[in-house]
Structure 1
């Protein structure tokens, strides 16, 4: 067997064995034990974990590539460094006549101090599973590191199609690094051993806070940079920058602008009405009704600027007011109290600002411009041009 180990054989450990297996990788699992796992790295630097990669070699055999690993024994047994300096071939037995089975490929250390006399070596080994209608992989034996589960189809053999290597393999490999190093996560996510430990989840740097792995910016309370824009938020109130330069805040279910608004809509297309009651509709303009949607900030309050260039007649006023709705519910009904009003056939620009409050934070409301002229029997027109509504959230 080509797999090298150190401090297993009673005699015969060579200097080459010792040099090959001095790997210095001990990712803590607790104060005494370390994680079992494989040292990360690849020959071209493009892959996180190439050690002990397995590929099909023939109908019923596979090649396990070279690599280095640590296998932790029971708490009193210590950790075994192992190295496979050249690829190894493993062979699988024929499939069951009726059912599929799942075999387990492991790195296994045989230590006569714990396994009994007769064998002291490290091997790449196939643990044969039980054929079943719902097959499961066998349990890993003591002092072993699972590499792959392999599904062996019913009836598979060298002369009968063999194993489908495109679908048969389930990668179980996990990585380890030296104490204090940043662990590249592959496979199962394992709890940290101490607060302040770091790992790379593949898309984000994470820190163990004593109970969970949290994204590194979250741990600092900092703003997630736009380079990590796909990072999942971990608490309500977390902030992130976006590629467009807009600061966003996580509200518990979605990213929203941290400072929303202002929201604006205006029209330079003049329109008119002869209605003596408030109406959202103006004639001879394409911009009708005039509406603005806005998201209510955490304060529940907004400032609304609104106005128009208004004309009517010297004896009859023209009015612009606001209606505010949330869905089908009316929050504020238009009235004369906050309306902008002008009485003259000569147009003048009239504007005002009003604070609205008590709205539900996070919901979308709609403000609609409402228009009318004073009581008249001669169909006097109220004319409105350069009409606008601007909503500024108050934080």
Structure 2
């Protein structure tokens, strides 16, 4: 057998084989209700990939999926182990139509088929000027849809597969797993805190608001209150470093009691390193900072090497360090 199902009386007279069980996806899958599961394809490689192999033929590659029946039936784990080839019926003489490639489970205990089997099938759509995808039979999962042009046949060029195939694979996962992105994102979540991938964005189902919301993890906060080295002659009044969501904020006060930093000659500017920020708490680019000494404002620079450089000058606004020098910086770490 090349299409196999677990929990379905198929195969040899003793029913489900051990290899059926090994190949089919088992376990509790993403729920949709109290006793129903979200059916869909199991991600991994390119499962159940459809490719055109002839003018009116396509091939469905191997893969695994879950097909949900009625609530009483439950869900059927299915595995396609060898590529399946399907032949599309010729197109209507006047209008295009849309056919669908499906996985279908027959279970005579619950339907009128009087058989037990799982198959890959083509469900033929109705020709129309604006055709729609066909309504699927019970206990089936749509994988691909094919637009069949009017008059298409093997004798007149057949189907242009690159434009005719529409991917309708939706994906499922085990309970608690992130549902991979597939066709269709309008489905609702089944429980509060369910996760899905939406074009690379992780979304969480909020049952209170009944919406998928972009998941933003709590900001990791780290702090440090030591490791700041001050230059000779200075004292460190206070220092703190805090990292929140990728941003670092430094606040520090440096004092030099009994001496001033004013440059003696009028108009001169003096840059002096008064301390060093510890490794791991340094900016990715040099920062220009403002500094207060309690009397006026001055300037400083925090370098990528972690040096806190104080700029002093004479005249109005000159910094006097006989009290304290206080500054802060917020930046992205190096």
TM range (shorter): 0.5 to 0.7
Instruction: Figure out how many residues of one structure are paired with residues of the other and give that number.
Output: 223
TM-score of the aligned structures, taking structure 2 as reference length: 0.62
What residue number does 2:48 align with?
A: 52
Pairwise CA distance, 1:158: 0.7
Change (3 A) 1:62 1:117: closer
Distance of 2:58 and 2:248 partners within structure 1: 52
What residue number does 1:216 align with?
A: 215
Q: 1:14 aligns with which of 6, 13, 17?
A: 17
Change (3 A) 1:117 1:150: closer
Distance of 1:105 and 1:117 partners within structure 2: 20
Matched ranges for 1:51-90 at <5 A: 51-90=47-86
What residue number does 2:120 align with?
A: 124
Pairwise CA distance, 1:246: 11
Is 1:105 the counterpart of 2:104? The answer is: no
Is 1:204 the counterpart of 2:201? The answer is: yes
Distance of 1:180 and 1:93 partners within structure 2: 42
Matched ranges for 1:322-361 at <5 A: none
Change (3 A) 1:161 1:209: same
Distance of 2:218 and 2:9 partners within structure 1: 51
Change (3 A) 1:117 1:92: closer
Distance of 1:22 and 1:169 partners within structure 2: 26
Pairwise CA distance, 1:117: 4.8
> Any idea what SS the aligned residue of 2:110 has?
helix
TM-score of the aligned structures, taking structure 1 as reference length: 0.53
Pairwise CA distance, 1:206: 1.2
What residue number does 2:35 align with?
A: 32
Matched ranges for 1:1-395 at <5 A: 2-9=2-9, 11=13, 12-24=15-27, 26-42=29-45, 50-189=46-185, 190-210=187-207, 211-217=210-216, 222=219
Distance of 1:179 and 1:59 partners within structure 2: 41
> Any idea what SS the aligned residue of 1:159 has?
helix
Q: Deviations over 1:177-225 (max 9, x none)?
A: 11111111211122111111111213211111111111111xx5659xx
Does the Cα contact within 8 Å between 1:184 and 1:202 map onto a contact in 2? no
Does the Cα contact within 8 Å between 2:219 and 2:245 map onto a contact in 1? no
Q: CA RMSD in A?
A: 2.4
> Any idea what SS the aligned residue of 1:86 has?
coil
Does the Cα contact within 8 Å between 2:99 and 2:145 map onto a contact in 1? yes
